[in-house]
Each structure stands twice: as structure tokens, then as C-alpha cells.
Structure 1
Amino acid sequence: MTKTPTDDFDTDADLDDEDGTPILPGEITVMPEDAGERLDRFLAQRFDGLSRSRIKNLILDGMASRGGMTVRDPSEAIQAGAIYSLNVPEAAPALPQPENIPLTVLYEDSDLIVIDKPAGLVVHPAPGNYQGTLVNALLAHCGESLTGIGGEKRPGIVHRLDKDTSGVMVAAKTELAHTRLSEVFANRDLDRHYMALAWGLMSPSAGDIEGAIGRDPRDRKRMAVRAAGGRAALTHYSTLQIWRLALSLLDVKLSTGRTHQIRVHLSNIGHPIIGDGVYLRRVPAVSKNLPPELRTALLDFPRQALHAASLAFAHPRTGEALSFRTEPPADFQALLDRLDAEAGIGSAR
């Protein structure tokens, strides 16, 4: 949908074309009511589809001008009647390379893509995982529909799931979507639920877990609840089902988004997630309540039994309410089915 330009623009160009690519105004005249505003903030308000940080970097790179003279100070106080222009270079190819990795796509349009991430897929390239990531897969899948984020033709990752956590993820395809979705996640203006299979019985059966999370001082690869030096974290949970007084299937919702938050909080109160090789350090005593073969199957489960089951948010461009839900993957579901079979009940899910 195109937008009608305001009188602030000294141009008759629309702001956005139908696929979300910014259509840049030529010269922008500062109106009296805008005098004194910072240059980067002023331009960010006029260039829908470019974030303020992107605008700031373009100014620093000499891409902005006032009356034909280059301006490099993002904090410059603009004056009424001044005429500015901004040159936005073509988006450069992204450094990660496209890879033909199959994706389960739940929804896609010109602004965003929603997928059901499988367990075992790393989200973003990093040391030791420069290939075979979700970003590589999205580059191949989305191709030319990626219009550029931060000057690169790449997908915008606005939230992450751990490598061995499965479930619903959204990624941005345009800078506008990236900016607005980032705000949505930062402000928690969404509804997101996880399914977790944990050791023991929760008491109470529903409640909150609160505790600041930071790096574990004894192991920098782990996170931990910290009395000092961590960031505030709050997790809500409710019990969906229990088995043999030893296992609980939980619905979990986050009020904050700290690294490994669900895994750390549940482990810290004595209810680590099944299969969590990082935060499950000893065999839980409640496992003795289980038949030997079932106990072995649970202790040998090769990853954390954690699934991002649902995600709901407003579309970053249209405001339309979007909601997605996926069932746990085959290995997780097989474990739940086995628990039901051992207990002689049908699945309650």
C-alpha cells in the first residue's frame, strides 16, 4: 500500500512501494515546527523503512547533504528553510552465503517470514557455525525479496531460539519490518508460549520464576541466576500434565528475553528440562520413580525438550493480528506419547 506524502516533503514521490522498498524523497525542506530537531531523528521520521541507526551511519559516511554541502554530524540541529537530501547506496550482498536448506514456512509476505525452526539448526552464523544456519537458509529462500537491512541484503533476525530448541520464529525481510519487529520484541508487545518437559512437580502448579540472569562466574559458557551483575528476568509457567510424580509438561511464557532464560530459571528451582546437557548436571532423584527403560530414554534424550509452540504479534506494516502455532517435532512428541502409554492414558494435548 502506498502512502500519501506530507507537505513536509519537497517532492511528489510516495514513501513506499508495494513490496516495502523505500522510495526516497529528493530534497526535504525543514519546516518551522521542526527547527531545532536532531538531523538523524528528523531524517528517520521522513524516510519510512530506514531505522534511525541506519540513517545515523549514512550521515557519518557522508551520504547526507544540506544545500548541496556534505553533512557528517548526526546531532546537527536543523534550521527552518534548510534543504537536506540523503543518498542511500544499493544494499551490498550479505557476507553469509545462501544455502539450499529446507524450511517449513508458516507465513510469508514482502515484509516478513515465519518458520517452524527444527531442532539442531543454528540461527545465526558464528565461530564454528558459519554455514548451515537459518540465515544461510533464508538468504537462499528469500533471494531478491530481501530489500536490504543496514545496507546488506540479509534477513533481519529479531529474536533467536537456541540451536536445539524448535518452534515458531519470525524474521524481517525489510528494514521497516526489522525496526518495528525489534521494537515489538523489546517491548514484549506479543504473545509467545513455549512447551517444556521438566523433571519433578512444580509447586505451585502455576506461578512465576524471578531472578536476574548473567554469565556463570564459574563457567563462561553457561548462564546463571545472579545475586549481583545479572539482568532482571521473569518467567511465567503453568502445568499442563504430569506423569508418575516425576515429570511435568509446562506452558511457559516470558516477560523478559534473557539468554537461556527458561532453561536457567527451571534448573535454578530444581526442575531442569529433560535432555538439557548444559543445565542438567546430575541425575534427578525423582527419576527413580520411573521404570528403568523409560528412565533411560529420558536421560538419553539428546537435546533439551523445549519447543516454541506459539507466537502472536501485529504485522509491522499493516497492524493485522498474526498468530501461529506448531506442534512439537517428532522426537519430542514421541517422548510425550511414550509417557502417556507408560501411564496408560491417552494424550491430553
Structure 2
Amino acid sequence: MVEEYSDDIDNDLDDIESVGGTGELYEHFRVVVDKGQAMTRIDKYLFERIVNASRNRIQKAAEAGCVMANGKAVKSNYKVKPLDVITLMMDRPRYENEIIPEDIPLDIVYEDEALMVINKPAGLVVHPGHGNYTGTLVNAIAWHLKDNLDYDANDPQVGLVHRIDKDTSGLLVVAKTPDAKTSLGLQFFNKTTRRRYRALVWGIVEEDSGTIVGNIARNPRDRMQMAVFSDPEIGKHAVTHYNVIERIGYVTLVECILETGRTHQIRVHMKYIGHVLFNDERYGGHEILKGTHFSKYKQFVNNCFDICPRQALHAMTLGFKHPVTGEEVDFTSPLPEDMTLLIDKWRGYISNRELE
């Protein structure tokens, strides 16, 4: 018998800290093992029962003291027995992800009865999660559609079809009906959508175009990062195509075309080929990775960091088949001001250097 909990428990597992201290613990998941259950490892047992949770994350939860059998912390190799009470404990209460409408401005590129296309600014979190339960794009959408009696912001059958990172700007599509979300979701799954990004990366990308193929999974040495793995059994298949738009001294402006949509895909794949996104703090792009050792150059780059204080990545175009009309539709969002100023500053620096 399983007590009903949110399917979003995978986010809890992402944010695990050791619970070995003396603070109060909170139950996030509970199951009573069936009488006829054969003895099996607890990590395997929970993997088959917790929606959206990987076995690796369950094992990390056990290492952190979060997985308990009959009130006692157990390791991953513990064999569950009939009528065991298995719980997942955290150092914070469960959060019920009720979406509260908030009056946050939206840049709506297109809207009809079935969907909306929104241009998200950098710095806006897309969806409520640990540490960001309010002030998100989803809260803003709930406000915009609060008078639409057919739209329930807390219904997973409607809403955002895909996501982009907090500090990435650009286009997202929102389904206003279950049929629209099903149609759009299948298009993303079948890789028939058209998504192009612009990114400024460190270093001169030598090839005019290329394709990066590499499985992506969470970095075992840093849970805040993703990484590329050559082992086909690790991570999820990911493909990114790129074209060079402009080489500007020690940086390159590239267009990235997503074939798949994995967490941090462009950021991780570009790092994998030696070209970290400019000012991508999580992946080391906030350091001076290319150029000279002169103090004047160091000051110039620091000024660039100030102009664009986030990873230089923008979801520029989005295309798909309209779920109602069947028409192929495409939308474009121009580069935001911070990236435009950043690129112009690099152009100016290189021009002035060439005149010296």
C-alpha cells in the first residue's frame, strides 16, 4: 500500500543533504511492503515505485541517511521484507506545489485558444521548485489565464510543454488545453520541433559546423552540474548541431540546433568540445579562459561579465505544427539587450586591437 505523494519527488532527490544530524526529519514518501514480497534490494524496490526517480539518486539518498526501513536508516543493499515500512526522509517539509497566480509581466509573442508562445527574460525561474516556490514563469502564466475557466494551473495536462534554464532567455510554448499539450508533447518527443539558440562561447570554434553526440547525466563529482558520458548505459542520448555565426577574437558566436532536449544540453555539449559558454558560472565560463594576461584585457572581460551577468545563451527560434490547425508555425525572438551589447563590445575590442 503506497501513500500518495507528488510525482515531483525526483526534485527532492536532487537536493539531498545528509540527514545524519539531530534536526527534525520530514517524511516525503512511505510504502508498506506487501505480504508476498520476495526479498529484494531496497534501491531496486524503490526505483520501481517512485515516479521519475533514478536508481542512482535513490542510492545517494541511502548514502545520505534518507532511506529508512522501520524507522532506521539503511543502505542501498538492505533487503526489504514483507510488511517493512519503507520511508524517504528529508531535512525539510514536503512542499505541495500549488501554483498561485502572481501578477508578473509576460512578453507574449503569440496567443490563441490553444497555446501561447512566451519570450522569457533571463533571471526568471520557469517552474516552482526547491528554493523557488513563487515568482516563477508558471505563476505569471497562472495570473494571465486566471479568468480562463478551462485552464487550471495545477493540472499537469496543461501548461508548459518544455523548459529553459533560469538564466537562459528566449522562447517557450504553453499549452492551454490537454489536447494541445498532448500534441505538442509528442512533437518534442518525436524531435519534430525546430529549436535554434544563439550562444557566445569561449575560444575560436575552428569548424564552421558540426554535431555533438554524447549521453548526458548528472556529474557524480558535482550534483549541480551535468556531464557527458561515453558509456551508453549512463545518462540520456543527446545531440546538438552547431554553426559558426561569427568569430570575434577570443570568443565565437554560434547557432545551436537541438535535436534532443536534455538538462543543460547546450551548456554541457559546448564545454565537452572545449568551448564553455561565456559567463556560464556553473561550468566555469565566468573565468577568463582565453586571451592575454594584460591587465587592460582582464578589465575588458570583467566589464563584459558585468554587461551580461549570466550565460550568454538565448532560445531564438521555435517552430512546431499547430495542434489545432496543423499548420507549421515558427516564431523568432531577437537577441536580448545584454547579449547584443556584449557581442558589440567584443567587436569593438577586436577592431581597436587590429588598429593598434
What TM-score range do you get, normalising by the shorter chain? 0.5 to 0.7
Q: CA deviation at 1:296?
A: 1.9
Number of positions where the alignment pairs a residue of Structure 1 with one of Structure 2:
251
In 1, Cα distance between the equivalents of 2:156 and 2:273?
Answer: 43
* Runs of 4+, deviation exceeding 4 Å: 148-151
Hey, what does 2:302 align to over in structure 1? 296
Deviations 1:143-198 (A, max 9, x none): 23362469839852111000000001111011010111100111111111000000
Q: 2:314 aligns with which of 283, 288, 307?
A: 307
Residue 333 of structure 2 corresponds to which residue in structure 1?
Answer: 326
Q: 1:96 aligns with which of 95, 99, 102?
A: 99
Q: Deviations over 1:296-333 (max 9, x none)?
A: 22355421000000111111111122111111211111
Task: Name which of 255, 259, 264 aligns with 1:260.
Answer: 264
Q: CA deviation at 1:268?
A: 1.4
Which aligned pairs between 1:1-349 and structure 2 lie closer than 5 A? 95-145=98-148, 147-148=150-151, 152=155, 155-228=158-231, 229-244=234-249, 246-280=250-284, 283-288=287-292, 291-300=297-306, 301-344=308-351
Structure 1 stretches lacking a partner, 5+ long: 1-93
Matched position secondary structure for 1:126: coil
Q: For 1:233, give the aligned amino acid.
A: A
In structure 1, C-alpha distance between the alignment counterparts of 2:153 and 2:282, rounded to whole Å: 34
Describe the shift of the 1:318–1:242 C-alpha distance in structure 2 as closer, same or farther (beyond 3 A): same
The residue type paired with residue 194 of structure 1 is: Y
Please list every run of 5 or more consecutive structure 2 residues that lacks an aligned counterpart in the other structure: 1-96
Q: Larger Rg: 1 or 2?
A: 1
- Matches of 2:303 and 2:126, distance apart in 1: 28
Percent pairwise identity: 44
Paired residues of 1:119 and 1:163 also in contact (CA < 8 A): yes
TM norm structure 2: 0.66
TM-score (normalizing by structure 1): 0.68
Kindly state the Cα deviation for residue 343 of structure 1 after the two structures are TM-superposed. Answer: 3.0
Deviation at residue 243 of structure 1 after TM alignment: 1.1
1:245-301 deviations in whole A, cap 9, x for unaligned? x11000000111110000001111110001101111683542328833322223554
2: CA distance, partners of 1:119 / 1:154: 26
Conservation of the 8 A alpha-carbon contact between 1:150 and 1:175: no
SS in 2 for 1:337: helix
User: CA separation of 1:318/1:127 partners in 2, compared to 1, >3 Å: closer, same or farther?
Assistant: same
With over 3 angstroms needed to count, the CA separation of the structure-2 counterparts of 1:247 and 1:142, relative to structure 1, is same
